[in-house]
Structure 1
Amino acid sequence: AGLGPAIAFLYSGPAINILAIILTARILGFELGLARIIGAVVFAIVIGLLMAFIFRKEEKERAEEAMNFPSPPETRPMWQTSFHFFVLVFILIFANWGRPDVDEGVWFWLWSNKWTITAIFGVLFIASLLFILKLNRWYVTLATAAVIVAWLLVPGNPLVPFVVAFIGLSIITVATPGEPREWLWSTWGFTKQIVPLLFAGVLVAGFLLGSPESGEGIIPNEWVATLVGGNSVFANLFASVFGAFMYFATLTEVPIIQGLLASGMGKGPALALLLAGPALSLPNMLVIHSVIGTKKTVVFITLVVIMATISGLIYGAI
């Protein structure tokens, strides 16, 4: 890939992963979750384009050198991989769809029917297991039958068949050597990394910053309001720089920002922190520097901070 797409992926990967977006929308509100999606997508595109333009001469030379290397063989058509991926994404989204504040409208309808929609994508997922991943048909059939039985036995609790489906999929992937088993162990590895950090982030955020229900933590609300309250240029810039240099483990930025909002942080600086924090950190900068060099790293960091500040100002003014 060229520098532009690579930088876009480098930013968007940690900034807008599906779990982070869902957690943001459920805990910090749909509005901030939507702003994070839009801001991060626009960020990724703009920063990628700017980096490609600024370093266009170097990229041209690199592209000419890359023409001499043969392309790796394609093991699976891109549309199949995309189909499988997006089915999983939509299952994750609708299974976690939170109840809206109002009892009418599109969002309420989606929440009311979220398990039906999840089941539809579940059927598509079964088709993907059979025809794309080509898993053992008997295994998939038995797991599907177990889910149906669970649904019939406990019709009022959709979580039960969902858990049965999860267990069935785990058993199938364990029993299938190669790519499915590797996928399961990779998932388990990420789970072991993320969940303890997430719990730690929640505990630390609650201890230091408090919560909307319990009040302030050991850090006075006045300190937070002074630095990142309101929607000034300083507040947004401070949030952007703070987020860029602090290390946020995956998903921990959400409970931390929840505590900051409860302590007086403005919604503009909150978005600025959400856009700058997950994508950058001091350890992250050191790794990026080792790959793309000092000049490109400095430009990338500067662009992220500037755009996060501008996005925060715009969102805070709406």
Structure 2
Amino acid sequence: MDFIFTMLKGGFNELLDYLSFHVLTCLVPAFFIAGAMAVLITKGAVIKYFGAGAKRWVAYGVASVSGMLLAVCSCTVLPLFAGIYSLGAGIGPATTFLYSGPAINILAISLTGAAIGWHMGVARGVGAVLFSIVIGVIMSFLFRHSEKERLGEIEELPGETSEKSVKFLVVFFGTMVAILIVSTSKLEPWIKITIDIGLISLIAVMVRYYFAEGEFKSWMEETWSLVKMVVPTLLVGVFLVGMVTSVLPPQWIAGYVGQNSLIANFAASLIGALFYFSTLTEVPIVKGLINLGMNQGPALALLLAGPAVSIPNLLVVNRIMGFKRTLAYFVLVVIMATLTGWAYGHFFG
């Protein structure tokens, strides 16, 4: 009975800690940003840059950062990947997108910074962008001959673009990102509130004069849809993490991933790549493991491999692009996460 009570207490304590003011002020703006991106930036405008006719630096650049437009897990990104791949995206940009989609969405990066530390959030974002490109380039090289045949049979991508000007989108999303930064800063509360009111007022003006009819409603609906999709699973995941970490012997964590060795980083990467992580649940899981003695290097390796790949994800990817390509993708994710975590651990471990 004491064992069960300890687990329940640990779950509730972790949940209360997670729902701190700092994390909430991080999550709320991030949800609105993700919702606005889903409405204002059309999928066609992103997809067209992945085609075989696109310049490489454009294709990989767009693919590597497009995850910021999404708030998806390794399974939710699959329909988008399948569509992009079947429409004619090269395997390089397509796999870059497949990895970056769940790995670097703005919710995950901002939450990592708020819950674990901004050095980890920045490392996760930069690491994910860089090695998603490396993975894509290597995949493109490995399967360059078969790609010529596949792409030769597919028509050119449609040229759909967003109706909003680039200038407007930069100002609009820049203002929203500024709200997120200010809200999670260590400024005095009255200063944060004053600045946020000014920024929110600017957002209101842009919505009033530059949004088309129905776009604001679609933005709110998309944001609420993301909240419903993410928050319940997230809170359950946080509670379960608190239960497990309350009874898990710290020496187990310290013994296996407490050091920044290549073996420890490989173990963290492999476990992360096999097990399924719902959107954002990897953050409280890793935070709990760090509290139990996990080194910063393996922690980053788990964050890089866990959200992007899973057994369900790999099974579907196998049906889309075949066993050899799927195996190569899986191996590259594990290797890159291992090396990135190991390098990071030397500075922050």
What is the TM-score of this pair, normalised by structure 1? 0.73
Compute the displacement of 1:129 (Å): 2.5
Cα offsets for 1:242-294 (capped at 9, x unmatched): 00011111111111111101111111000000000010111111122222221
Asked if the contact 2:104–2:128 (Cα under 8 Å) also holds between the matched residues in 1, the reply is yes
Alignment partner of 2:115 out of 27, 44, 64: 27
Cα offsets for 1:38-69 (capped at 9, x unmatched): 11111111111111121122222333333x44
Asked if the contact 1:230–1:266 (Cα under 8 Å) also holds between the matched residues in 2, the reply is yes
Partner residue, 1:36: 124
Q: Distance in 1 between matches of 2:145 and 2:206?
A: 43
Partner residue, 1:184: 220
Q: What secondary structure sits across from 2:207 in the alignment?
A: helix
Q: What secondary structure sits across from 1:309 in the alignment?
A: helix
Partner residue, 1:5: 93
TM-aligned CA distance change 1:70 to 1:25, over 3 Å: closer
Is 1:227 the counterpart of 2:227? The answer is no
TM-aligned CA distance change 1:72 to 1:299, over 3 Å: same
Q: Distance in 2 between matches of 1:225 and 1:70?
A: 50
Q: Which runs of 5+ in 2 are unaligned?
A: 1-49, 51-89
Partner residue, 1:237: 266
Partner residue, 2:173: 86
Cα offsets for 1:134-158 (capped at 9, x unmatched): 24xxxxxxxxxxxxxxxxxxxxxxx
Which stretch shows the higher mean deviation, 228-237 or 86-95?
86-95
Cα offsets for 1:293-313 (capped at 9, x unmatched): 211111111000000000111
Q: Distance in 2 between matches of 1:306 and 1:84?
A: 38
Partner residue, 1:270: 299
Asked if the contact 1:246–1:277 (Cα under 8 Å) also holds between the matched residues in 2, the reply is yes
Q: Which runs of 5+ in 1 are unaligned?
A: 100-107, 136-175, 210-216
Q: Distance in 2 between matches of 1:92 and 1:65?
A: 46
Partner residue, 1:291: 320
Cα offsets for 1:193-236 (capped at 9, x unmatched): 21111111111111111xxxxxxx11111111111111111110
Partner residue, 1:71: 158
TM-aligned CA distance change 1:13 to 1:70, over 3 Å: closer
TM-aligned CA distance change 1:298 to 1:131, over 3 Å: farther
Please give the root-mean-square deviation of Cα atoms over the aligned residues, in Å. Answer: 2.6
Give 2:232's aligned amino acid.
P
Compute the displacement of 1:118 (Å): 4.2
Is 1:259 the counterpart of 2:288? The answer is yes
TM-aligned CA distance change 1:259 to 1:75, over 3 Å: closer
Mapping for residues 128-139 of structure 1, pairs under 5 Å: 128-135=206-213
State the percentage of identical aligned residues.
44
TM-aligned CA distance change 1:69 to 1:35, over 3 Å: closer
Point out which structure has higher relative CO (alpha carbons under 8 A, 6+ apart): 2
Asked if the contact 1:25–1:34 (Cα under 8 Å) also holds between the matched residues in 2, the reply is yes
Asked if the contact 2:207–2:216 (Cα under 8 Å) also holds between the matched residues in 1, the reply is no
TM-aligned CA distance change 1:219 to 1:85, over 3 Å: farther
Size of the aligned set, in residue pairs, is 259
Asked if the contact 2:297–2:345 (Cα under 8 Å) also holds between the matched residues in 1, the reply is yes
Asked if the contact 1:87–1:124 (Cα under 8 Å) also holds between the matched residues in 2, the reply is no
Is 1:122 the counterpart of 2:200? The answer is yes
Q: What secondary structure sits across from 2:114 in the alignment?
A: helix
Partner residue, 1:247: 276
Alignment partner of 1:97 out of 167, 180, 184: 184
Compute the displacement of 1:27 (Å): 1.2
Q: Distance in 2 between matches of 1:275 and 1:70?
A: 30
Q: What secondary structure sits across from 2:170 in the alignment?
A: helix
What is the TM-score of this pair, normalised by structure 2? 0.67
